[in-house]
Amino acid sequence: MSFETWKQIIEKAQTEFKIAHLDFNNWGEPTLNKDLPRMAAYCKEHGIHFRISTNLQRTDGLDAVLANGADLIWASCSGWSQETYGKTHEGDFNKLRDNMVWLAEKKRSLNSRTQLIIRWHRYRHNCDEEKEARKFARQHGFAFEAHVAWYLPIQKLLTGPADETAKLLLVPIGEGLDAVKDLPRPKTCPEYSSVHVDANRQAKLCCLTYNLNVGDFLENDIETLDAARQKHPFCTPCMEANALEYLAKTHPKLLWMAAKNATSTDVRLRLLFEILVDTTLRLGRRIPIPYYIKSRIGMAVKHRL
């Protein structure tokens, strides 16, 4: 996407709703866009909070992201060796690790306040390497955000077929969906509170899919796009399956499954602690905590474990 098209999208969005924050991620790699420095500078000039998620196979534009005050940069990681990392990520693990060191040093040299986070995707095969990744994070000034890995896009989660990656999940798809189908669910999908636009200007149904569109963002007003999202035929089976609860993986049922399948004592204990926190929050409540609130509480806990 060119800077000019991106700017048109931002300007239109600002006339239709308040931008709480802008994320450069979701089914794409922001460092591939040569205009990322201009976009970062525009965000700073117009007071737009923005965040970046990257696989850190390259660092193009990230110095500008740091200099222009991004709220945070996530570095996505699912292993601490090439053998483990390569099962669930494409790319070179050594390049990722070297670029994380570069990012930490660049942050210090620029005196940037951007928060750096390693976003660790927990699978069965990488539990034994999480402790080493946490040690690296402490040494280089990264926060460490671990979560039980998702399986996307959403239509693949619900309709299959499962692939080799699915076999590595700590919470098996079938068992997990069975466990959440009768749990309380929000009346309205929380995904309706955010807007996702791809490199071709297409507004997406939600962040959980890359190929379900509801219209050209620049050619349709937000009311039309929202109506199209809420009427989309895929939303009904997703809500009926309580798929968001499965993906959030903050319910004790799912965390217990993950803990049983974890292959290291350290990860198992961390997951059991998350169960304790979630259960404590539920005690004395007649109304279950909604998925999206639990997600945020769970994420805050994971930052501090």
CATH number of the domain residue 61 falls in = 3.20.20.70
Whole-angstrom distance, CA of residue 36 vs CA of residue 25: 12
CB atoms within 10 A of CB 158: 16
Residue 59 lies in a domain: yes
Question: What residues contact 14, with CB distance under 8 A and at least 6 apart?
Answer: none
Name which of 215, 207, 213, 203 is nearest 191 in CA terms. 207
Whole-angstrom distance, CA of residue 182 vs CA of residue 70: 40
Provide the pLDDT for residue 137. Answer: 98
Whole-angstrom distance, CA of residue 191 vs CA of residue 174: 23
Question: What residues contact 231, with CB distance under 8 A and at least 6 apart?
Answer: none
Backbone dihedral angles phi then psi of residue 22, each to the nearest 5 degrees: -120, 125
Residue 73 lies in a domain: yes
pLDDT in tens, 93-142: 999 999 999 999 999 999 999 999 999 999 999 999 999 999 999 999 99
Provide the pLDDT for residue 282. Answer: 64
Name which of 131, 146, 103, 174 is nearest 266 in CA terms. 131
| Chain position carrying tokens 């009768």 | 182
Residue 219 lies in a domain: no
Residue 237 lies in a domain: no
Whole-angstrom distance, CA of residue 145 vs CA of residue 159: 29
Question: What residues contact 44, with CB distance under 8 A and at least 6 apart?
Answer: 68, 69
Residue 44 lies in a domain: yes
Provide the pLDDT for residue 295. Answer: 54
Residue 273 lies in a domain: no
Give me the residues of the chain with pLDDT under 50, please: 286-287
Domain count, the chain: 1
Whole domain around residue 48: which residue ranges?
Answer: 1-149
**What is the β-pairing status of strands 202-204 and 213-216?**
antiparallel
Residue 192 lies in a domain: no
Residue 275 lies in a domain: no
The Cα diameter of the chain in Å comes to 53
